[in-house]
């Protein structure tokens, strides 16, 4: 048995040690052979042989574990040294980071509305049913709630499906006039080429007293904003429905890819839908305790704008962290 002690102690690596373990402790190993010889021994000899073999078995197992730990540590040190990077070495690549295209687009949107004297407000991402739905003229069982697949928690708490709750919180805490935008992340149960479970919105609200706000005001600022974002495009307003605005409209721009002639991106229509807007519904003002006021609201998806500006075909690619995509925005 002495040679096996020496063999284990002189093993050069974990692989070699594993082969020795099988040779000693395997079903056909040396210990199994020695225990098998006990069949031919007398009863008096069996006890002594078994005792001696069990002592060797315990000592060999302990030596094997200790040696394995030493060899594994050495191999790890060698691997780490081989894979290590000398951070003091001079690099000639000269690479640098850049803003993520979504954040870059968000900053550009915020920059425009800041220049128009809109304040930036934020709010919690975990909302209650009142701020996210009811105060926005979406009472329980309202069919329009099905337009937003919601992540719910217990006790009517949820991940906000839009940044409109920030507008509600602002109106509850502030007297008009109000001129604000609410940028931030929102969450819906959706995932495909043009939808992800988490995305970003910028919603705007303007409220004033004595009927000073009209749809003409809204139309002017959105046309100016869209030309700021996309250049010289045509803008059109189509009648639509949103529970929190009345009248409501979808806003389109002439396709920036085909210049309005019709292509695959715009489904041959020559137009691209970019945001929704409208005059704030009186029920929303009633929910926050406002009287004798008027206002308009609008909302847009930041990823949608980023995809159009940078010609990105799949929304999901913005969140996959692929360096090959992101390094193009330096």
Indicate whether 190 and 72 sit together in one domain: no
Same domain, 190 and 121: yes
**What are the Cα distances from residue 109, in Å, to 18, 44, 116, 183, 226?**
63, 93, 11, 9, 10
> 47 with 191, same domain?
no
Query: Which residue from 276, 226, 279 is spatially nearest to 253, judged by alpha carbons?
Result: 226
Statement to judge: residues 285 and 314 lie in one domain: yes
Do 299 and 236 fall into the same domain?
yes
In terms of Cβ atoms closer than 10 Å to its own Cβ (0-12, 13-18, 19+), residue 155 is: exposed
Going by C-alpha positions, the residue among 160, 197, 198, 214 that lies closest to residue 182 is: 160
* Residue 42 maps to a domain: yes
Q: What is the predicted pLDDT for the residue at 192? A: 67
| 223 and 190 within one domain | yes
**Tens digit of pLDDT per residue, the chain (330 long)?**
677 777 888 888 888 888 888 888 888 888 888 788 777 777 777 777 778 878 878 888 888 888 889 888 988 888 888 888 777 877 776 667 778 889 999 999 999 999 999 999 999 999 998 999 999 998 887 776 666 678 888 878 889 999 999 999 999 999 999 999 999 999 988 766 666 788 899 999 999 997 789 999 999 999 999 999 999 999 999 999 999 999 999 999 999 888 878 888 788 888 999 999 999 999 999 999 999 999 999 999 999 999 889 888 777 788 777 777 777 777
CA-based angle 121:305:160, to the nearest 5?
Answer: 45
Using CA atoms, how far apart are residues 134 and 139, in angstroms rounded to an integer? Answer: 5
Q: What share of the chain is helix, strand, coil (3-state, %, to 5)?
A: 45, 20, 35
Q: How many Å apart are CA 199 and CA 300, to the nearest integer? A: 11
- Owner of token pair 């949107």: 109
Rounded to 5 degrees, φ, ψ at 140 are -55, 140
Residue 260: Cβ within 10 Å count: 17
Can you tell me the distance from the alpha carbon of 18 to that of 77, in angstroms, rounded to the nearest whole number?
20
Backbone φ, ψ for residue 277 (5° rounding):
-160, 180
Residue 273 in contact with residue 165, Cβ under 8 Å?
no
pLDDT given at position 35: 80
Number of independent structural domains in the chain: 2
Q: Indicate the DSSP class of residue 291.
A: -
Last residue in a domain, options 28, 56, 83: 83
Residues in the chain: 330
Same-domain check for residues 204 and 71 = no
Model pLDDT, residue 125: 93
The full DSSP string for 128-153 is EHHHHTGGGT--TT-GGGGGS---B-
Do residue 112 and residue 78 come from a single domain?
A: no
Q: Give Dmax over CA atoms of the chain in angstroms.
A: 113
What integer pLDDT is reported at residue 1 of this predicted model?
A: 67
* DSSP β-bridge partners for residue 114: none
Q: Are 284 and 137 in contact (CB under 8 A)?
A: yes
Task: Kindly state whether residues 56 and 106 are assigned to the same domain.
Answer: no
Which CATH number goes with the domain that contains 217?
3.30.930.10
Task: Yes or no: say if 78 and 170 are a contact pair by the CB < 8 Å rule.
Answer: no
């Amino acid at each position: 048995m002495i040679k096996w002690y020496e063999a284990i102690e002189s093993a050069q690596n974990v692989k070699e040690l594993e082969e020795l373990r099988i040779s000693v402790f395997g079903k056909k190993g040396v210990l199994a052979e020695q225990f098998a010889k006990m069949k031919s021994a007398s009863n008096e000899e069996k006890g002594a042989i078994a005792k001696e073999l069990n002592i060797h078995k315990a000592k060999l197992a302990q030596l094997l574990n200790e040696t394995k730990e030493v060899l594994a540590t050495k191999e790890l040190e060698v691997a780490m040294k081989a894979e290590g990077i000398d951070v003091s070495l001079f690099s000639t690549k000269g690479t640098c980071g850049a803003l993520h295209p979504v954040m870059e687009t968000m900053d550009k949107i915020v920059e425009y509305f800041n220049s128009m004297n809109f304040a930036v407000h934020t709010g919690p991402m975990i909302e209650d049913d009142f701020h996210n739905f009811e105060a926005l003229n979406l009472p329980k069982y309202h069919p329009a709630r099905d337009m937003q697949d919601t992540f719910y928690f217990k006790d009517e708490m949820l991940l906000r499906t839009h940044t409109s709750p920030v507008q509600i919180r602002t109106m509850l805490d502030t007297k008009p006039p109000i001129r604000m935008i609410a940028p931030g992340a929102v969450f819906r149960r959706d995932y495909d080429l043009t939808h992800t479970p988490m995305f970003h919105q910028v919603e705007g609200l303007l409220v004033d007293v004595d009927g000073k706000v009209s749809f003409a005001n809204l139309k002017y600022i959105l046309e100016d904003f869209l030309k700021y974002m996309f250049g010289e495009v045509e803008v059109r307003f189509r009648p639509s429905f949103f529970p929190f605005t009345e009248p409501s409209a979808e806003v389109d721009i002439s396709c920036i890819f085909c210049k309005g002639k019709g292509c695959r991106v715009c489904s041959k229509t020559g137009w691209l839908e970019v945001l929704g807007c409208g005059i704030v519904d009186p029920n929303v003002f009633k929910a926050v305790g406002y009287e004798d006021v008027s206002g308009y609201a609008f909302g847009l998806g930041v990823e949608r704008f980023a995809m159009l500006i940078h010609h990105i075909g799949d929304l999901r690619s913005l969140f996959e962290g692929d360096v090959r995509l992101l390094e193009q925005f330096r």
